[in-house]
């Protein structure tokens, strides 16, 4: 099969999709997640129709491109929405720039690129005369990053898939996804003597490690330069980049960390946590004390009363959003749980730890339950073997991920690619997200082989 002939159009389609900003926005007519998501979905479905697929737009929530006939319905479920771009890009985040052997921009890896590559993988099978004895749907969602309401709508108006994959994680194949939840610690703080915290803001989305935090401190009778220096010393001691400006009694700080996906907070540097840590001994108030006592710079809930681990790793605890103003504070935490614990146990652990903090209240914001599939099951083994056959990688094994994908919205569905070793750093939820052309070609080849085998060799039809 000549796969090279698909490269130019595939690259162009990815570039054009990346150029449409699809961060969650105010609803518009026919676009519940904003104009950008509406436009991007319409564009991708128009490309799919030109490629010979039957297409359906489900009220702007999501859409799909379908081929084949049969009772069973195989799903390939990706998403077009993205997290906010942030700062620090080498090339503009919505340029789709083709530079240095890569397509640059938000969504190239997570998840416009893999979703579009999947579409072309099925197109390649169509052109090669593959016999589609099942219906195959490439489904494009528009709300994966902020709640997956798109898939809830899909399941309300369409039949569920029989089985399938979500090209939104890593190779060789995901057999388990951890439970994800979000909690908020909120309350009202009182001040002691000395410098006072006026305001603090950090984070863009709850499921990413914040790389910037801004805060304002009032010297409140102390020397502003001395207060600023004490905060600077604490930040510098931890190697944290920062800037500040003094305006009368007020000192305004911008604190820089390192962004990372919220599922792996240990790979980032949380600007909020280090900013609040620098206020210890400088600002005397309940918010600063509670944060530094129970959260600090820990990423596994060690001080918060929710630490847990199993053979798949430790709990991941990420402060993604934080706001303080006029004494009122909100700390929003996104966590990924080992299978040795659950949301109720974690939530009760946090409440118990904070039981004597009368100014703080703990609220459960959301929960998405994880799942495990037998790694020796037919579906896992078919995908795993296809990956190994194409790449020659016999060392990598099926993975349990702390990330969350559309796979958890359906029965008999697992995440499959696109991140893989040997093709450099595949960055998501950070500046300079990019898809190298070499990685694109490898992912395409894997998907062509794996999707053919998935359709041909796997069945969940008990009557077959």
Percentage of residues in the chain having pLDDT higher than 90: 95
Can you tell me the mean pLDDT for 375-400?
96
21 Cβ contact list (under 8 Å, min separation 6): 36, 82, 85, 94, 106
What mean pLDDT, rounded, does the chain reach? 96
pLDDT on residue 423: 86
Q: Does 176 have pLDDT greater than 90?
A: yes
- pLDDT tens for residues 427-443? 888 899 999 999 999 99
Nearest to 268 by CA among 330, 323, 317: 317
> 180-368: what CATH class?
alpha beta
Average pLDDT (283-289) is 97
The mean pLDDT of 176-195, rounded to a whole number, is 96
- Band (201; pLDDT cuts 50, 70, 90): very high
Report CA Rg, the chain. 24
pLDDT interval class at 464 (50, 70, 90): very low
Instruction: Classify domain 4-177+371-457 at the CATH topology level.
Output: Aminopeptidase (3.40.630)
The residue among 441, 438, 443 whose CA lies nearest residue 101 is 438
pLDDT band at 462, cuts 50/70/90? low
What pLDDT, on the 0 to 100 scale, is given for residue 376? 95
Tokens found for residue 101: 């052997």
Question: What is the rounded average pLDDT of the residues 444-456?
Answer: 98
Residues spanned by CATH 3.40.630.10 within the chain?
A: 4-177+371-457
Neighbours of 318 (CB within 10 A): 29
205-237 per-position pLDDT tens digit: 999 999 999 999 999 999 999 999 999 999 999
Residue 362 has a pLDDT of 98
In this predicted structure, the answer to whether residue 463 has a pLDDT above a threshold of 70 is no
pLDDT at 330: 98
Enumerate the CATH 3.30.70.360 domain ranges in the chain, comma separated: 180-368
Q: What's the pLDDT at 430? A: 87
């Amino acid at each position: 099969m000549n796969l090279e002939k698909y490269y130019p159009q595939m690259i162009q389609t990815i570039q054009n999709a990346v150029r449409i900003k699809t961060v969650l926005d105010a609803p518009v007519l026919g676009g519940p997640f904003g104009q950008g998501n509406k436009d991007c979905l319409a564009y991708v479905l128009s490309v799919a129709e030109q490629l010979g697929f039957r297409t359906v737009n489900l009220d702007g929530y999501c859409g799909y491109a379908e081929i084949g006939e049969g009772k069973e319905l195989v799903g390939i479920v990706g998403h077009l929405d993205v997290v906010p771009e942030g700062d620090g890009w080498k090339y503009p985040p919505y340029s789709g720039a083709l530079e240095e052997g890569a397509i640059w921009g938000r969504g190239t890896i997570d998840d416009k690129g893999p979703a579009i590559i999947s579409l072309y993988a099925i197109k390649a099978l169509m052109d090669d005369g593959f016999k589609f004895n099942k219906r195959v749907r490439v489904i494009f969602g528009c709300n994966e990053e902020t709640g997956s309401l798109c898939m809830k709508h899909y399941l309300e108006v369409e039949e569920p898939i029989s089985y399938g994959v979500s090209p939104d994680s890593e190779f060789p194949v995901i057999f388990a996804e951890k439970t994800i939840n979000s909690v908020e610690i909120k309350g009202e703080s009182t001040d002691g003597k000395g410098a006072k915290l006026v305001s603090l803001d950090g984070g863009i989305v709850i499921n990413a490690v914040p790389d910037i935090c801004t805060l304002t401190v009032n010297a409140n009778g102390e020397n502003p330069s001395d207060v600023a220096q004490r905060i600077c010393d604490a930040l510098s001691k931890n190697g944290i980049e920062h800037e500040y400006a003094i305006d009368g009694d007020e000192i305004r700080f911008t604190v820089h960390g390192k962004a990372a996906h919220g599922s792996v907070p240990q790979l980032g540097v949380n600007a909020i946590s280090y900013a609040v840590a620098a206020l210890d001994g400088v600002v005397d108030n309940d918010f600063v004390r509670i944060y530094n006592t129970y959260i600090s710079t820990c990423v596994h809930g060690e001080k918060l009363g929710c630490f847990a681990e199993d053979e798949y790793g430790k709990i991941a605890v990420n402060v993604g959003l934080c706001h303080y103003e006029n004494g009122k504070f909100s700390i929003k935490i996104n966590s990924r749980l080992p299978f040795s614990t659950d949301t109720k146990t974690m939530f009760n652990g946090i409440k118990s730890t904070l039981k004597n903090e009368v100014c703080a209240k703990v609220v459960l914001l959301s929960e998405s339950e994880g799942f495990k599939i037998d790694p020796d099951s037919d579906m896992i083994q078919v995908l795993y073997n296809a990956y190994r056959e194409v790449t020659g990688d016999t060392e990598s094994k099926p993975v349990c991920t702390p990330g969350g994908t559309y796979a958890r919205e359906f029965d008999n569905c697992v995440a499959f690619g696109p991140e893989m070793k040997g093709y450099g750093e595949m960055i998501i939820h950070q500046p300079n997200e990019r898809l190298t052309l070499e990685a694109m070609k490898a992912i395409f080849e894997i998907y062509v082989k794996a999707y053919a085998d998935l359709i041909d060799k796997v069945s969940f039809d008990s009557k077959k």
